[in-house]
Chains A and B, each alone.
Chain A
Amino acid sequence: MTAIDRPVMRRPQWHWWVIIPPALLAALLFGAAIGEVSIPPQVVLKVLANKVLNAGYAVDKIDEGIVWNYRMARAVVAMCCGAGLALSGVVLQALLRNALADPYLLGISAGASTGAVAVTILGLGGGAISLSIGAFSGALVAFAFVAVLAQAAGGGVGLRAAGVIVLAGIAGSQMFNALTALMITKSANAEQARAIMFWLLGNMSGVRWPDVFSALPAAMIGLLACLWHARALDAFTFGSDSAASLGIPVRRVQLLLIGTAALVTAVMVSVVGAIGFVGLVIPHAMRIVVGHRHAILVPASALAGAVFLVFADVISRVIVPGQVLPIGVVTALVGAPVFALILIGKRTSP
C-alpha cells in the first residue's frame, strides 16, 4: 500500500463539527447586532445576556424588543431557511443527477405563489387565512400534482425516472404559473400583483419567534434525513441503477428524500417567500470546497446556507438606507460573485 492511497478526504471531516457551533453563534451575533437602526454593541450584548442568562441589565424596552424579538428571531429563521434550502438543493441535485436542480424544481414556488394569490386576490378565506398558509397549501398541492404526474408518466428507476421528475416539475410549474397569471389578470390590479411579487422574492420582515417553531423543526428534519441517508446519496454518484446495485432501495429513498425536500421547501417558502439562489448554488459551492462525500457535504451545505442567509438578510436591510430590498435580490446579487470567485479560485489552484 502506498502513501498516496491513504484516504485523504476522510480526515478533515471532524473539523466541520468543531467549526459549526462557533460559526452559527457568530452569525447569530452578527444578525442581532446589525439592522436598520444602530444599537450599540454593548446594548446588544446586555440584551442577549438578559434573555439567555437572565442577567437583569437595565435596557431600553424598544432596544430589547428589536434585538431579541425582531433580529434574533429573524436570524434564527434565516439560518433554518438557508440550511433547509441548501439541503433540499443537495438532495435534488444528487438524486436527479441534474446540476440545475433547485428546491423550486418541483413546482413549489409556483404553487406557493398560486396559493398566496388565491388568498390575497381572490380573497379565499376572507382575510382569516394568512399569506403563509395560502402559500404553504399551494406549494403542497403543486408538489402533489408534480408527484402524481411523474408517477403516471413513467415509473421505473434509472435515468428515465429522474428525467420524468424534472419534466413533471416543469409542467407543474408552468401550469401553476398560468393559474396565477389567470387570477391576477381576472381580478387584481397592479398594486396587488406588485405586493405579492415583492413577497415572493423573499421577505423576512414579518418573521418573529413563532415562525421559528415551523422553520426550525423543518430544518432539523431535513438535516437528519440527509445525514441518515448520506451514504445512499453517495451511492447515486453513478446514477440510480448503480445505486440500486449498491443496495439502495432507490424508489423508497427517492420518495422519502424528495418528499422531505419538498416539505422543507414548502415550509420555508411559506415563512419567507421563495428565496432563490441558495438552494441552487450553495451545494455546488460546497462541493468545490469540501468535495462530494455527503457525510461532509450535507453539514457543510447546511452551515454555509445558514450563515449565508443571515448575512444576506442583514445586507438586505442596510444596503439601501431607510428601505428594505427583497432578500432574494440580495442572495443573487451577493451570491453570484462569491460563487464565481470560488469557481475561479478552484480552477487556478490545482
Chain B
Amino acid sequence: MILSCHELGWRVRNRAIVNDVSLSLRPGEKLGLIGPNGSGKSTLLHMLAGIQKPSRGRVELDGAPLAKMRQRDIAQRLALVEQHADTADRITVRHAVELGRTPWLSALRGWSHQDDAIVTQALADVDLSGFGDRHWHTLSGGEQQRVHIARALAQRPQVLLLDEPTNHLDIRHQLSILELIQRLPTTAIIALHDLNQATLCDRICVLENGTLRAIGTPSEIMNEPLLREVFGVCGHFLVDPADNAQVIRFHTATH
C-alpha cells in the first residue's frame, strides 16, 4: 500500500465536499477517478497530495501519515498535475519542466548534469523534445498540459496524481498521454471525464457528491445502473471487433 486514505473528509461552511472516503493503492497500480462535475475529484486529489488539509480522516504515504511529513519529502515521492495552472511569466518550456526538480535541490545541493538528463528525458516522454526554448505563452493548451506532466515526471515520483490530464488535448495526444501513464512504473491516480479512457485503468473509483460510490476493476464497476444513477446517462456496452475491447456508447437518460 503505497498511498491510502481513511475516512477522509473536507467540509466548507457545513457542506461536505468530500465525505468519508477510504481507499488504498497498490504499488504500480493505475486508479481512474471518475464522477460528475462537482463530485469532489479535485478536492480529493489535493488532499491526497497534502496541499489541502482534510477536515477529518488521514492520508498515509508509504505507511507514514502525510500530515506529519515535510512538504519536500512528500514532493520527492508524489507529484500532482493540476487542472488549470497558468502563469503570466515569460518562461521557457525547459524552465517550467526544471521546476519539477525543486524538491530534490536545495541551497546546498545545486543543479547537476543528472538533473539536466532527467529534464531532457521528461520532455522526451511527453513528446516535447525540441520545445525546450519555446516560451510558455506561445504553447497551445494541450502543449501546456504536456509540459505540466513533464514537470511532474521530472519530480521522479512514486505516485502521480493527475487532475484531468487529457483536457485540452487533441485525440492523438490524449491517447499518447494515457499510454505514457500506463507504461510508467509509477503508481497513479487519474481523474478523468472520458469513461472509456477510465476503463483502461487497473481499477476505477467512482465519486458521487463527495462520497465513494464504488471502487473496483472496470468490469466490476461499469454497469448500466451505475451510469444511470451517478452520471444520469444510459450506456450501451459494445465490443470493438479490432481487439475485442469493451466500449461504452452513451445516450441521454430519457431514451
Q: Do chains A and B touch in the complex (CB under 8 A)?
A: yes
Binding site for B on A (CB under 8 A): 1-2, 4-10, 97, 99, 157, 227-228, 230-232, 234-235, 237-239, 241-242, 244-250, 287-288, 291-293
Query: What CA separation (Å) do A291 and B89 show in the bound complex?
Result: 9
Query: What CA separation (Å) do A157 and B50 show in the bound complex?
Result: 12
Contact (Cβ within 8 A) A247 B94: no
Query: What CA separation (Å) do A324 and B82 show in the bound complex?
Result: 54
Counting chain B CB atoms within 10 Å of each CB, the highest count among A9, A246, A248 belongs to A246
CB-contact partner of A242 in B71, B73, B82, B88, under 8 A = B82
Stretch at the interface among B102-110, B182-190, B193-201: B102-110
* Per-position binary interface string of chain B over residues 96-138, scored 1 when its CB falls under 8 Å from any chain A CB and 0 otherwise: 1011101101110001000010001001000001101100000
Q: List B contacts of A8 (CB < 8 A).
A: 133
Q: Least Cβ distance of B112 to chain A in Å?
A: 12
Query: What CA separation (Å) do A1 and B130 show in the bound complex?
Result: 8
Q: Least Cβ distance of B179 to chain A in Å?
A: 22
Q: List B contacts of A7 (CB < 8 A).
A: 94, 98, 116
Contact (Cβ within 8 A) B87 A237: yes
Binding site for A on B (CB under 8 A): 46, 49-51, 70-76, 79-80, 82, 85-92, 94-96, 98-100, 102-103, 105-107, 111, 116, 120, 123, 129-130, 132-133, 148, 155
Question: A248-B71, A292-B89 are contacts. A237–B99 as well, Cβ < 8 Å?
Answer: yes
Extra pairs beyond A242-B82, A246-B100, A247-B71 (5, CB < 8 Å): A1-B129, A227-B107, A248-B71, A248-B72, A292-B89
Q: List A contacts of B155 (CB < 8 A).
A: 246
Contact (Cβ within 8 A) A5 B72: no
Q: List B contacts of A234 (CB < 8 A).
A: 99, 102
Query: What CA separation (Å) do A7 and B118 show in the bound complex?
Result: 13
Q: List A contacts of B95 (CB < 8 A).
A: 9, 291-293
Contact (Cβ within 8 A) B130 A5: yes
Contact (Cβ within 8 A) B100 A5: no
Closest to B110 in A: A295
Contact (Cβ within 8 A) A2 B130: yes
Q: Least Cβ distance of A221 to chain B in Å?
A: 15
Q: List A contacts of B129 (CB < 8 A).
A: 1-2, 5
Closest to B103 in A: A247
Contact (Cβ within 8 A) B91 A292: yes
Contact (Cβ within 8 A) A10 B132: no
Closest to A246 in B: B102
Query: What CA separation (Å) do A247 and B61 show in the bound complex?
Result: 15
Q: Least Cβ distance of B153 to chain A in Å?
A: 13
Contact (Cβ within 8 A) B103 A246: yes
